[in-house]
């Protein structure tokens, strides 16, 4: 995987909502991103399981990081998410985004949310998403002048 510029990494890792929810940016490479989040009591729904909106926020932070990892502005067009299992309080969620296709104007990503194994429970796939962006083409970093 191609390492991204440190300045670009700093831009992509500075997601205010992600920080508010406790989402940690673990890794960003060109075409790949991984973030994690702990399911705290504040991230539960009325049924006592991980709120779908919190998991969608985690997916969206990964989507933003992976889709902008090539250094040009990309904006979301569509995210289709399948919730497969419920997360529970105390779960450590790991979310990875992989680039499936990237052209000059569009790109598609597969993004999975997994609850890591704990308390005798095996690792569980909680959600999977197929996400598409429009690649605007505006560079994130100003080109260096000679």
Beta strands in 1-146 (DSSP E): 24-29, 32-38, 72-83, 92-102, 106-115, 124-139
pTM value is: 0.94
- For the segment 110-116, the average pLDDT, to the nearest whole number, is 98
* Long-range interactions of 9-15: CB distance < 8 A, separation 24+: 11/140, 11/141, 12/64, 12/65, 12/68, 12/69, 13/65, 15/61, 15/64, 15/65
Question: How many CB atoms are closer than 10 A to CB 52?
Answer: 15
- Return all residues near 81 (Cβ < 8 A) that are at least 6 apart: 56, 59, 127, 128, 129
pLDDT above 80: residue 1: no
pLDDT attached to residue 85: 97
Confidence label for 144 from pLDDT (cuts 50, 70 and 90): very low
Question: How many CB atoms are closer than 10 A to CB 1?
Answer: 10
Tokens 């000679």 — which residue? 146
Element (H, E) at 53: helix 52-67
CATH 3.10.129.10 fits 6-139, yes or no: yes
Tell me what the pLDDT averaged over the chain comes to: 95
- For the segment 86-101, the average pLDDT, to the nearest whole number, is 98
- For the segment 13-42, the average pLDDT, to the nearest whole number, is 97
Confidence label for 2 from pLDDT (cuts 50, 70 and 90): confident
| 81 closest CA partner among 102, 48, 57 | 57
pLDDT attached to residue 146: 42
pLDDT attached to residue 142: 79
For residues 143 and 65, the model is more confident at 65
pLDDT above 60: residue 145: no
Domain boundaries, the chain: 6-139
Tokens 């909680």 — which residue? 126
Confidence label for 93 from pLDDT (cuts 50, 70 and 90): very high
pLDDT attached to residue 143: 64
- For the segment 87-114, the average pLDDT, to the nearest whole number, is 98
Q: Tell me the chain's radius of gyration from C-alpha atoms.
A: 16
């Amino acid at each position: 995987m191609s390492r991204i510029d440190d300045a670009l990494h700093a831009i992509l890792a500075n997601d205010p909502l992600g920080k508010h929810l406790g989402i940690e940016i673990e890794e960003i490479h060109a075409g790949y991103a991984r973030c994690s989040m702990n399911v705290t009591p504040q991230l539960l729904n009325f049924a006592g399981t991980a709120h779908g909106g919190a998991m969608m926020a985690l997916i969206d932070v990964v989507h933003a990081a992976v889709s902008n990892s090539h250094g040009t502005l990309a904006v979301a067009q569509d995210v289709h998410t399948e919730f497969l299992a419920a997360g529970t309080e105390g779960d450590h969620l790991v979310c990875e985004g992989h680039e499936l296709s990237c052209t000059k104007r569009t790109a598609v990503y597969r993004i999975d949310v997994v609850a890591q194994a704990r308390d005798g429970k095996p690792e569980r796939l909680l959600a999977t998403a197929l996400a598409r962006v429009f690649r605007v083409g505006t560079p994130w970093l100003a080109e260096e002048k000679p």
